Structure 1
Amino acid sequence: MQFRIPNYSSYIYLAEMSKYQHMWSFFGRSENYNIFIGISEFLIGTLVLFKRTRLIALLISLGVCLNILVLNIEFEIIFATSHIIVDFIITLILLIGYRKDLYQFFIKLGGKLDNTSIKPTRKFAKIFPVVFLLVLSVGYFSFSLYIKSFYIGDPNVIGAYEIKQIQLNDSTFTPKIGKLGKLPMLFVENNNQIVLSVDDTLYMGAYLVEKGNIKLGFESTTKFGLQTLNGTLNSKGLTGEINDKSLIDISLERIDGRKNYINDLYK
């Protein structure tokens, strides 16, 4: 019965879901996963009852409880946090009695009953793991920064915006419901992609930001005549010249993490 949500919650837009609803419904998508977790926790409780299997049960419990504790805290599963904290503390208390044995077996003996083959006999075998770890860590970190530089745009521009009002030359109007979600929206993505969801239509395009100026274009012309724009964008609005002739002022409200935590997730 765990990981069930009310039926109406299934129709909430992903960006409007709370962290709790997001995590709870996600884990509830797989019945087999829930069976696996249930059996695993049952086995932990069973094995901890017997002296011969108690240690392995406690070690498994340590990993499981720590994982659940982090999930509950980060996804704000408040009602279950105190319960898992108690389980985690009980596991630690029971493991204290094994601390010397764990140190002896896992550290001094390296997981073997004797230490005859733990120490490397060749100098290469001693140095290689350290060099490999350093090269791999530094190399992957540098590679990540390199890749990130191509896809992560200006944090002052990237994000989701609710469209409040559009003023085109001397005409002012309020756009209708968007294609994505309930509200007319403008989405400025990391990969120079820009998406306009307005008047029950989705417009895909691209943009370029240079020295505070934004140039953008859509694959098709909107119902209010926008296809290309050269102007400025900030948290309050998008203004400029469209199609090299008309002036446009789009009033915006940036959706921040307080309204949509997903919007701030990857900054």
Structure 2
Amino acid sequence: MTSINQPSWSLFEKIGFRFSFVYFFLFIAFQNNSTFPFWYDIFEIPLKWTREFIPWLGEHLFNLSEPVFIGMTGSGDTTYDFLVMFCIVCIALLCTLVWSVIDRKRDNYSKLYYWLTTGIRYYVGFMLINYGFSKVIQLQFPNPGPYRLIEPYGESSPMGLAWTFLGFSKGYNLFMGIAELLAGLLLFRRTMIFGAFLTLMTAMNIMAVNYFYDIPVKIVSTHLVIMTLFLLLPNIKRLTSFFFTDIKTKLKFIKRPHYKRSLKIAMNSLKGLLLGYVFIYGFIDTLDAQKLYGTKAPKPDLYGIYEVTDFVINGDTLTDYKNEKLWKSIAVQWEGSLQVRTFQASYPKYYGIEKDSLVENRLKFTRWGKQDESFYFNYKKIDSTGLDFNFIFKGDTIQGFTKRYDKDDFILNSRGFHWISEQAYNR
């Protein structure tokens, strides 16, 4: 191997590095995605200023019709995020121009290049390690629950379809998780190139899924690919020669600048603490999260899917499927909420539910978004086979009987794995 340090860089290399340094630094700082430990505490003030400036920018520069929302939405591709990216690009261009004027005589930026690649390696590595743990433990993509199992394909969003596909298989989750955990190879200079090569394939797959299934993490996933390519850039020609010619080649490696022994010990100690935090604490934290809202989280008392077999209003059993009052199913997946599907409506109704402290087996239903639509729901569990219920709503006395379905009653969960298949089982 030969050193990556060069005595003199070309003008194009120096300008490209200046832009890359500012751009990647700002991206890591403002699109950190909880990658570095305690980052939001360390960077609290600049982030606070940004949350104040971006809405102003959207209103006064871009004349947006709606105020820029800065709260948590589950999306990483919000208007706020794209305006942040606009600012990052503008600042990077301006800094590159000023830097190029005042520092035009410098031969190279070998030391800064080392620290830039270190920041990128740790950013990409830590992020994929965090995501890798959430897949190995199957937290990010859970097995399809009651809501998904009774949702028609046509009603699911592309993102919902991807979550169902990816969450169905524990084995595939484990496979994806191991692939992402291999990004840990980026954290060591001697394995960085091999790690970047593997990570590029993983990151490109993540980016493709986000783009083609409309998953709102396109900004971050795209940058994971760009950053990995940046790490491989000095060896692109050598890798091309290795794969497509018979010319002998040697890979470049990143050489750490020379520092005093005490400083090296301090840096290695800090690295050890970071790695220990990310690997040990990250794994333990993911296990704890699994117990809070993952597969090992406590299930609600009525957890499951209940098909409504009879629905009686004021003593008359409804049989007309076009009647908007006729319930089709009840599903309970999370504590404190419940889903009701009717035959007439295309989409389900969701209710918040509260236990009545005075009356046993009685719940208060309140429809989401319609606080005035509430009623008391009395129920009786029939062993594990179903649920009988009754309630009064808008003057109607309603009684219902249900049949309970287990997850294994669905082909998706009961089909299993087969080495030998005489015919394709494609339903």
Could you say whether these structures have the same fold, taking a TM-score greater than 0.5 normalized by the shorter chain as the test? no
TM class by shorter-chain length? 0.3 to 0.5
Q: TM-score, normalised on structure 2?
A: 0.29
Q: Which is helix-richer, 1 or 2? A: 2
